[in-house]
Structure 1
Amino acid sequence: MFTYSLTIQLHHTDAYDIIFFANQFRFCHDVYQAWLASVGLPLAKNREKSTHVAVVVHAESDYQAPIELGDQLELRMVTGALGTTSFTLDFTILNQKGIQVGCARIVHVTVDAKTAQKIPLPSALREALEGNRT
């Protein structure tokens, strides 16, 4: 399990001082990008010379309680399903009181950077994902 902390800023919220719904996906993507860097697969570095791209093919999110301006969140990411060409990331979002306020699931498929055809998960990525199951 990978854990990431975040404090809700004004620009994350809507007119009601709760997060704009799409920002929950943004937070999850921030967690994923931080995790990639933590396992030695930083997105920016790999993008320049990578032969593959992990594209999002499915995303779902549940909003279980309001997330408000100033809330301090803990986002947890674990690897869910792991296929030949795809992987699922499951996210849990807790507020500063330890209450689960949201969750999300995002499915990626690895494709060839030039042809956009599905390819098997690169071994380094597969190993990192397997190590993030709990």
Structure 2
Amino acid sequence: MFVHRLTIQLADTDAYSILFFPNQLRFCQVVFQAWLASVGLPLPIDRARAEFLCVVVRAEADYEAPINVGDELTCAYSAARVGATSFTNAIRFTNQRGEPVGQARVVYVVIDPRTSAKMTIPPRLRSGLEAIAG
């Protein structure tokens, strides 16, 4: 499991001062990018420099309790499934009191950046995913 922490900012909330619902999925991408960097696979500056791309083909989120400005979220990130060309990540969100506030699952397909065709998950990415499988 990979753990990332973030603080909820005013811009993350809606008119009711709770997390604006699409931001939970945005946080999934923030955590994914942090994880990629942690395993030595930071996002390239541009597509032409990428050896592979991970594109979202499905995303789902559950909201279990209000998330407010100033809340400190712990994002527990794991690989729920690793296939030949795709993988599913699971993210659990807890607040500063350790209470579950949400969860999400995101399915990525790995593609060749030049052709946009599906490709086999590269060994370095697969190794990183298998290390956080659970």
Secondary structure class of the residue paired with 1:44: coil
Question: Which has the higher mean CA deviation after the structures are superposed, 109-118 or 53-62?
Answer: 109-118
- CA distance in 1 between partners of 2:70 and 2:52 (Å): 38
Q: 1:40 to 1:46 in 2, by over 3 A?
A: farther
- CA distance in 1 between partners of 2:43 and 2:54 (Å): 10
- CA distance in 1 between partners of 2:40 and 2:51 (Å): 16
Matches within 5 A, 1:14-29: 14-29=14-29
Secondary structure class of the residue paired with 2:19: coil
1:63-94 Cα deviation digits (max 9, x unpaired): 00000111111001001111000001000000
- CA distance in 2 between partners of 1:47 and 1:128 (Å): 21
Paired residue for 1:116?
116
Matches within 5 A, 1:1-134: 1-44=1-44, 47-134=47-134
Identity of aligned residues (%): 50
Gaps of 5+ in 1: none
Q: Which amino acid aligns with 1:85?
A: T
CA contact (8 A) 2:48 2:113 kept: no
Number of positions where the alignment pairs a residue of Structure 1 with one of Structure 2: 134
Q: 1:52 to 1:44 in 2, by over 3 A?
A: closer
* TM-score normalised according to structure 2 size: 0.95
Give, in angstroms, the shift of residue 102 of structure 1.
Answer: 0.1
1:32-75 Cα deviation digits (max 9, x unpaired): 00000000000135845223211100000000000011111100
CA RMSD of the aligned region, Å?
A: 1.3
Q: 1:125 to 1:46 in 2, by over 3 A?
A: farther
- CA distance in 1 between partners of 2:61 and 2:119 (Å): 27
Structure 1 residue runs of 4 or more that deviate by more than 2 Å after TM superposition: 44-48
